[in-house]
């Protein structure tokens, strides 16, 4: 026996466990109809593989898992599938969900099945797949598919396996009775889990209000080769919470937002261990479980081994329900369970208890009173939160503050609401705040997504616009080039057609050069003349040579001048030929037309005879000019 640690807070509600432990576990009667919800746990609903009208055998697969976190379903007994559709299910929302409805035929005929020969020789993955095929899910709390937790040995170093046998909620005795009667099965299940996870240490955490169960476990553990400790913890709610039990047994805390495997611990419930044992040794899928049926409104509170899908009504009948006394029907324990509004709701893999409570037993809470910050909630919170602060923040919709005060670490155990002298339904406020924050986050995500999509669309449109623009430009350039080449061809044609235009066109660039050459020649000639004059005056030598040079230069200058002049004339001629400037012509024509119009207008307005006559002459002149210009325009403008 190792050291048992403690956790902050906790409460001691009346246990009410004695009522249902007086008789051994009974076999629940076979109901006429079984309703098997496709979704019995977090994760994705299973996918039905049978059709309406099919006859199925006990243990036959009727729905297969979808995705990793999902569990398969099997027919709890032989019968005919009557429908697959909505039916009330055990869920806090009270909404209906898809169920496979199986009409039992009373034969209870098993499908062929057998256990694994020697699981220790199998590959772990094969063994885990077998467990997955048997639809084993955690039977303590959320019903997490067990195979996912058994894989953990691959990604984490698991040094401690904790078997949760605390069962701290009042009223519930399903695990207690299971341990008393089937301790050997539990041990066998623990062996399988231990084979897969290879922990160095196994602890069974059990509350001290279950002495017979402790005895039974101790008896089967005698001579066991595994390193198993039974750790008896003081009775206090919520010792059975996974995180609280870990703290009790190891003194360690699971970091916020992480899983126990992150600190090397895996927890399994005793019921799950039994289910694994049956799956591995007998090949039986998870088709039944132990359910405590208790409360003041039943005459014979007891535990039943009930098929998954059994309506609560059948179990209540088996426990002799006093219908008149029934006030509320709770699925689960009184601290965390949910009330159900319908007695046709079926047992699922996580249904550990049904409490048929009378009005006196669980009266309605008195009306909510103002919070006086009495601090009692803080004293009992197992997570060391500040429940009253969270309450104020939730009520005032200060969700950021609530979150900063670790709202999401709240395990909704209800201890704070249990002790609140003002009867404030604290847990409801936290659920409200959590859901509001989740909604806000979802909306934020949606808004972000929408913004991203919008931005992406904008970018796409801009890109498309730019591409369009580029294409348009390319087309325009292409067209311009085509036009240019057409023009060039036309020009060539024109060149070949008119020879007279050619020298002008080719002379044009040379004109300037010729002018320069002529000027240079003139300057040289002038310098030579000056030099000759100077020599002549002073009677220098070589005067003959100078004269010859001068004559030569004179000749050259003459030539240059002539060449320039010729070029100039050719240019002028070309200009004269080209002469008819289309634009100028257009302007002139327009002006002439305008003058005509103006004169016509003036003429209509003038009364003086003399002036009229003059104007008429003028008009005739103007018309002649305009006509001539128009004529010329029509001749020169391209067709």
Partner 1 sequence: MSLIRLSSPHVYKANSTANVMRLVMLAMLPGILAMTVFFGWGTVIQIIWAGLLALGFEAVILKLRKRPVLFHLNDGSAIVTAMLLAVAIPPFAPWWMTLVGVFVAIVLGKHLYGGLGQNPFNPAMVAYALLLISFPVEMTRWTAPFVLNGDGWQIAPFLDTLKAIFAAADNLWYDSFTGATPLDEIRHRGGLTTEEAWRQSTVLSQGIGAWHAVSAAWLMGGIFLLYRKVITWHAPISMLLALTLCSSMFFGFDPDNYADPFFHLSTGATMLAAFFIITDPVSSATSNRGRIVFGASIGILIFIIRTWGNYPDGVAFAVLLMNLAAPFIDIYTQPRSYGHNRAKKGQGGKA
Q: Footprint of partner 1 on residues 239-258 (CB under 8 A)?
A: 243, 247, 253-258
- Selected binder of partner 1 within 144, 418, 430, 532 (CB under 8 A): 418
Whether the ω angle into residue 423 lies within 30 degrees of 0, i.e. cis, is no
Nearest to partner 1 of 65, 334 (CB atom):
334
- Selected binder of partner 1 within 146, 250, 310, 388 (CB under 8 A): 388
- The 10 Å Cβ neighbour count of residue 493 is 10
Nearest to partner 1 of 191, 328 (CB atom):
328
Nearest to partner 1 of 423, 500 (CB atom):
423
Instruction: Supply the angle between the helices 501-538 and 426-497 in degrees, to the nearest 10.
Output: 70
Number of helices and strands (H, E) in the chain? 17, 17
By CB under 8 A, residue 260 contacts partner 1: no
Instruction: Check if the beta carbon of residue 65 is closer than 8 Å to that of residue 71.
Output: yes
Rounded to a whole number of angstroms, the minimum distance from the CB of residue 141 to partner 1 is: 14
CA torsion 605-610-615-618 (nearest 10°) is 180
- Selected binder of partner 1 within 53, 223, 324, 367 (CB under 8 A): 367
DSSP-based three-state secondary structure for 391:
helix
By CB under 8 A, residue 362 contacts partner 1: yes
Rounded to a whole number of angstroms, the minimum distance from the CB of residue 403 to partner 1 is: 5
Distance, C-alpha 115 to centroid of its chain? 42
Instruction: Check if the beta carbon of residue 263 is closer than 8 Å to that of residue 184.
Output: no
Binding to partner 1 (CB under 8 A) within 584-613 occurs at: none
Instruction: Check if the beta carbon of residue 368 is closer than 8 Å to that of residue 391.
Output: no
β-sheet bridge partners, residue 357: 328
Residues whose CB is less than 8 angstroms from the CB of residue 272 and which lie 6 or more positions away in sequence, other chains included: 136, 137, 138, 139, 140, 146, 189
Nearest to partner 1 of 174, 254 (CB atom):
254
Nearest to partner 1 of 286, 329 (CB atom):
329
Rounded to a whole number of angstroms, the minimum distance from the CB of residue 51 to partner 1 is: 32
By CB under 8 A, residue 382 contacts partner 1: yes
Binding characters for partner 1, 170-209, by CB under 8 A (x = yes): x---------------------------------------
Binding to partner 1 (CB under 8 A) within 389-408 occurs at: 389, 400-401, 403-406, 408
What does each C-alpha distance from 192 to 173, 228, 352 come to in angstroms?
Answer: 25, 14, 23
Binding to partner 1 (CB under 8 A) within 496-535 occurs at: none
By CB under 8 A, residue 378 contacts partner 1: yes
Binding to partner 1 (CB under 8 A) within 36-95 occurs at: 94
By CB under 8 A, residue 35 contacts partner 1: no
Report the alpha-carbon distance of residue 423 to residue 425 in Å, rounded. Answer: 6
DSSP-based three-state secondary structure for 93:
coil
Q: DSSP letter at 171? A: S
Residue 195, burial from CB neighbour count under 10 angstroms (0-12, 13-18, 19+): middle
Binding to partner 1 (CB under 8 A) within 319-358 occurs at: 323, 326-330, 332, 334-343, 355, 357
Binding to partner 1 (CB under 8 A) within 4-23 occurs at: 7-8, 11, 13-14
Instruction: Check if the beta carbon of residue 292 is closer than 8 Å to that of residue 26.
Output: no
Nearest to partner 1 of 46, 381 (CB atom):
381
Nearest to partner 1 of 421, 579 (CB atom):
421
Rounded to a whole number of angstroms, the minimum distance from the CB of residue 362 to partner 1 is: 5
Binding to partner 1 (CB under 8 A) within 143-172 occurs at: 170
- Selected binder of partner 1 within 212, 320, 369, 484 (CB under 8 A): 369
Q: Pick the closest to residue 259 from 238, 243, 240 (CA basis).
A: 243
Nearest to partner 1 of 401, 623 (CB atom):
401
SS3 content of the chain, % helix, strand, coil (to 5): 50, 15, 35
Sheet containing 73-74: give its strands across: 47-48, 61-64, 73-74
Stretch that binds partner 1, among 57-65, 139-147, 368-376, 523-531 (CB under 8 A): 368-376
Size of the residue set binding partner 1 (CB under 8 A): 78
């Amino acid at each position: 026996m190792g050291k048992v640690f403690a956790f902050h807070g906790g409460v001691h509600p009346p246990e009410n466990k004695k009522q249902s432990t007086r008789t051994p576990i009974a076999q629940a009667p076979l109901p006429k109809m079984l309703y098997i919800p496709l979704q019995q746990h977090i994760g994705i609903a299973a996918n039905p593989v049978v059709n309406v009208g099919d006859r199925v055998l006990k243990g036959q697969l009727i729905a297969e898992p979808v995705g990793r976190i999902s569990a398969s379903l099997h027919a709890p007994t032989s019968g005919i599938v009557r429908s697959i559709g909505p039916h009330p299910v055990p869920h806090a929302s009270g909404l209906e969900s898809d169920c496979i409805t199986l009409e039992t035929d009373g034969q209870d005929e098993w499908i062929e099945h057998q256990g694994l020969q020697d699981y220790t020789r199998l590959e772990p993955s094969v063994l885990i797949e077998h467990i997955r095929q048997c639809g084993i899910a955690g039977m303590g709390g959320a019903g997490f598919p067990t195979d996912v937790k058994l894989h953990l040995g691959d990604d984490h170093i698991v040094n401690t396996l904790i078997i949760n046998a605390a069962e701290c909620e009042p009223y519930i005795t399903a695990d207690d009775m299971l341990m008393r009667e089937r301790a050997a099965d539990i041990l066998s299940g623990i062996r399988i889990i231990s084979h897969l996870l290879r922990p160095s240490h196994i602890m069974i955490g059990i509350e001290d209000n279950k002495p017979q169960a402790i005895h039974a476990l101790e008896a089967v553990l005698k001579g066991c080769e595994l390193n198993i400790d039974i750790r008896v913890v003081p009775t206090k709610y919520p010792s059975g919470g996974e995180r609280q039990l870990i703290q009790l047994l190891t003194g360690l805390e699971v970091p916020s937002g992480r899983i126990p495997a992150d600190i090397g611990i895996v927890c399994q419930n005793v019921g799950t261990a039994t289910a694994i044992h049956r799956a591995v040794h007998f090949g039986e899928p998870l088709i039944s479980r132990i359910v405590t049926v208790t409360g003041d409104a039943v005459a014979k509170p007891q535990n039943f081994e009930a098929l998954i899908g059994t309506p609560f009504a059948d179990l209540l009948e088996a426990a002799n329900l006093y219908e008149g006394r029934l006030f509320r029907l709770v699925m689960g324990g009184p601290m965390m369970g949910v009330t159900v509004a319908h007695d046709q709701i079926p047992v699922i893999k996580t249904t550990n208890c049904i409490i048929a409570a009378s009005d006196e037993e669980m009266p309605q809470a008195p009306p909510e009173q103002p919070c006086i910050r009495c601090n009692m909630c803080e004293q009992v919170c197992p997570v060391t939160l500040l429940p009253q602060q969270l309450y104020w923040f939730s009520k005032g919709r200060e969700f950021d503050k609530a979150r900063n005060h670790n709202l999401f670490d709240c395990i909704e155990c209800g201890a704070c609401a249990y002790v609140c002298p003002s009867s404030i339904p604290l847990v409801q406020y936290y659920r409200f705040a959590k859901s509001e924050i989740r909604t806000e986050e979802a909306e934020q995500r949606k808004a972000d997504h929408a913004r991203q999509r919008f931005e992406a669309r904008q970018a796409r449109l801009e890109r498309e616009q730019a591409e369009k623009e580029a294409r348009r430009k390319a087309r325009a350039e292409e067209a311009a080039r085509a036009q240019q080449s057409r023009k060039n061809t036309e020009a060539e044609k024109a060149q070949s057609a008119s020879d007279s235009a050619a020298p002008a066109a080719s002379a044009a660039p040379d004109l300037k050069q010729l002018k320069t050459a002529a000027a240079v020649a003139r300057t040289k000639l002038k310098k030579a003349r000056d030099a000759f004059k100077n020599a002549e005056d002073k009677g220098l030598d070589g005067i003959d040579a100078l004269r010859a040079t001068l004559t030569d230069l004179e000749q050259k200058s003459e030539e240059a001048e002539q060449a320039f002049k010729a070029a100039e004339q050719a240019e002028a001629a070309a200009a004269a030929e080209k002469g008819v400037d289309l634009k100028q012509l257009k302007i002139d024509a327009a002006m002439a037309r305008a003058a005509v119009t103006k004169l016509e207008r003036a003429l209509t307005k003038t009364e003086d005879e003399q002036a009229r006559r003059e104007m008429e002459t003028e008009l005739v002149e103007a018309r002649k000019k305009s006509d001539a210009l128009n004529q010329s325009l029509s001749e020169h403008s391209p067709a």
